[in-house]
Amino acid sequence: MPPAAMTERPTSLTGIKPTNEPHLGNYLGAIRPALGLSATYDTFYFIADYHALTMVRDREAMRKSVYDVAATWLACGLDPSATTFFRQSDVPEVFELAWVLSCMVATGQLERGHSYKDALAKGEAPNAGIFNYPVLMAADIVLYDTNVVPVGKDQKQHLELTRDMATRFNHLFGAGEELLVVPEPLIGEAQLVPGLDGHKMSKSRGNGIVLFWPQKKLRKTIMKIVTGSEPLEAPKEPAGTLFELTRLLTPHVADEMAERLRAGGYGWGHAKQDFFEALDAELAPMRERYEALRADEPALDAMLAEGAERARVRARQTMTRVRHAIGMR
Ligand code: TYM
């Protein structure tokens, strides 16, 4: 039985759910760090559309969001000739592996899943997709022999479950061999980017700074971030949402901001303007690319289809190994 595919470089993989337009938390927590890995890793980045189905019940919204996320990745610098870039739903092997992995996890572990528990706590009646969400996510990761998964801290539990499922599979069917690669989460500095209300920035909470808002709207939103109300002359403590966002985006701008705030004579309005300028300097060139990419859906489809072809090559190799190990063929 051959071990997991050995490519020359380790593999980095991550996915984004097309549930709304991507925000600054997605960018700082996952997109920017993931793109930074492309020089040293074999990269597999994808759009987790079947995960979005747990929440998105509108065909047009789903269709639109998939293109929004695709154009975002590309505008941020993803090179589709160097990265395997695809839609989750174009690789049906993932569902076969999800079934296999579901047989490696106890229902009690899934009952402790954050999203499932939160839905129950809110009095909702979560669908079984929400319950099984971590299994499909584990399959996404394991299918491509992933070594590292750049994500925000909110995905840590999913990675722990993935590791459990892969380890259990190896224990039961691999006789000590690593038939399935056990991945590591890669949680960077921007673990939990705060949203406009100080809570974790999240699509469902509506507290996000959408990455490609027009410049005017971006500035207006930043100016509304709640800060201290000390008089201009007073020295101020560099803390709170605005300062934290600046620190995560551009540490050097934050260092200067901290100095000025402590010295006094520099108001929160100035700090907002400085944050806006730093953010806009990073986003403006991407925003322009985004508009052009987003306007050409057939080109996005072609790129994703090509990526899916490449993704399926590795997916089929993994499934051959898995089927053989479990005695299906
Ligand atoms: P999603 O679409 O909710 O978020 C995409 C990525 O953005 C990160 N993120 C954040 N990071 C820091 N601070 C925040 N406020 C913040 N908000 C979001 C998330 O941690 C994530 O990395 N389950 C995944 C999608 C997925 C996936 C996968 C990811 C499906 N299969 C396999 C990795 C590997 C999700 O809901 O991401």
CB of 54 closer than 6 angstroms to any ligand 1 atom: no
Q: Which residues of 256-278 are buried (b: 16+ CB within 10 A; e: fewer)?
A: ebbebbeeeebbbeebbebbbeb
| Helix or strand run (H / E) with residue 133 | helix 128-142
CB of 91 closer than 6 angstroms to any ligand 1 atom: no
Q: Same topology for domains 11-193+296-326 and 215-289, yes or no?
A: no
Domain ranges of the chain: 11-193+296-326, 215-289
CATH superfamily of 11-193+296-326: HUPs (3.40.50.620)
Ligand 1 centroid distance, CA of 151 (Å): 6
- What pLDDT does residue 2 have? 45
- What pLDDT does residue 65 have? 98
Nearest ligand 1 atom, CA 201:
15
Mean of the per-residue pLDDT values for the chain?
96
- What pLDDT does residue 8 have? 82
- What pLDDT does residue 101 have? 98
Ligand 1 centroid distance, CA of 179 (Å): 26
Q: How confident is the model at residue 204 (pLDDT cuts 50, 70, 90)?
A: confident
Q: How confident is the model at residue 1 (pLDDT cuts 50, 70, 90)?
A: very low
Q: pLDDT tens across 117-175, in order?
A: 999 999 999 999 999 999 999 999 999 999 999 999 999 999 999 999 999 999 999 98
Which of 301, 283, 298, 252 has its CA nearest to residue 22? 283
135: which DSSP letter? H
CA separation for the pair 211, 218 (Å, rounded)? 9
For domain 215-289, give its CATH number from 1.10.240.10, 3.40.50.2000, 2.40.110.10, 3.30.750.24.
Answer: 1.10.240.10
Q: How confident is the model at residue 7 (pLDDT cuts 50, 70, 90)?
A: low
Examine the pLDDT at 34 and tell me if it is beyond 70: yes
Q: Which residue lies with its CA nearest to atom 22 of ligand 1?
A: 151
Task: Tell me the angle at which helices 241-249 and 251-263 cross, rounded to the nearest 10 degrees.
Answer: 140
CA separation for the pair 313, 181 (Å, rounded)? 17
176 φ/ψ sector (left φ>0, alpha ψ -120 to 50, else beta): left
CA dihedral 206, 208, 210, 211 (to 10 degrees): -160
